[in-house]
Chain A
Amino acid sequence: MEEKDFILQLLNPKTQNNAFQKLLSDYKRPLYNHIRNIVLDHDDANDVLQNTFIKVFQNLNNFKGESKLYSWIYRIATNESITFINKKAKLNGKTSRELQSKIVDNLQADTYFDGNEIQVKLQKAILTLPEKQQLVFKMRYFEEIKYEELSTILGTSVGALKASYHLAVKKIEIFMNKD
């Protein structure tokens, strides 16, 4: 089915329910991974994922089809994740970086983390990057999202994203090669 037809189904009250169930089934796994990569904790990812789908549902009528549905949904998920981290950090009297460092330090005790020392070290390396570079690196490296799609989701030019990813990789390699 073409995206245009699917969007029409989402907007039509008679077909909306079935179309939204299809959207849920198509997006729940990739969006969970996307959100989890940003918020790091499973329970937080669950909350943000729920909020994201609710926001998508509430704003379906505002979706004007100027961008792809995929980019629009990812943009909502990214914004929800960042807002969530900032809010949680503020409630805990910490900066978002401090909050994330704490989660990464305890990663190996996390039931829903199945990684080794290299994976923990990579997460620590990512945390040393500026916030936007972290996002670009995670979305490009872990999720393998194309630069063109990243550009629509993050509202940044392809050139700037490539530069950002290149810088992120350099810094991560330096960090990973430290003893």
Chain B
Amino acid sequence: MNEFKIDNKNKITSGFIAPEGFFDNFTIPLNREINQQNTIVKVISINSKRWITSVAAVLIVALSITIYSKMAVIHLEDNTIENYLTSQSEISQFDLINLLDKKDIEDLSLELNLYNTKIDEDFTNGIEIENYLTEIN
């Protein structure tokens, strides 16, 4: 049997196919979703319902104070927040990247405290260097 070489062989395709008509029908639910997001929400004038708003506000404040004073303070571990973000929220890495500005990145690098000596130490302790090759610019 001939030795397998990526460049010598005829190109191997991924083999993945889409169902028939998938691309024709694909845009229908997508356009519906996008149109929904674009729908303008009608805003009810606050002035015309001022007295209702005032009563509601007083009730909300009164209820909030009562509930808040009875509630035990919950301390969330970082890990819990991370798990929530991963499994429940719609926040992706792309969203997070978009939220970071230059100052955030500088703060992060200070917080992570990655000195060269630490990196050297890690590499000499047998970390697979080739896994990191692609990260080096």
Contacts and interface: CB of A to CB of B under 8 A. Distances in A.
Interface residues of A, number: 62
Interface of A: 20-21, 24, 28-29, 32-33, 36-37, 40, 42, 46, 49-50, 53-55, 57-59, 62, 75-76, 79-80, 82-83, 86-87, 90-91, 107, 111-116, 118-120, 122-123, 130, 132-133, 136, 138, 141-142, 156-157, 160-161, 163-164, 167, 169, 172-173, 176-177
A53 B93 CA distance: 16
A36 B23 CA distance: 14
B119 interface: no
A10 B45 CA distance: 33
Interface string B25-45: 011011001100100000000
A54 B16 contact: no
Of the candidates B6, B15, B131, the one having the most CB atoms from chain A within 10 angstroms of its own CB is B15
Contacts of A50: 29-30, 33
B100 to A, nearest CB: 13
A92 to B, nearest CB: 10
Contacts of B134: 132-133, 136, 156, 160-161, 163-164
A115 B15 contact: yes
A158 to B, nearest CB: 10
Contact of A57 (B3, B14, B22, B34): B34
Contacts of A142: 13-14
A120 B5 CA distance: 16
A80 B94 contact: yes
Top 9 closest A-B pairs, CB basis?
A: A115-B15, A176-B4, A119-B15, A79-B94, A83-B92, A164-B134, A157-B137, A130-B131, A132-B134
B20 to A, nearest CB: 10
A28 B27 contact: yes
B17 A58 contact: no
Contacts of B106: none
A82 B17 CA distance: 20
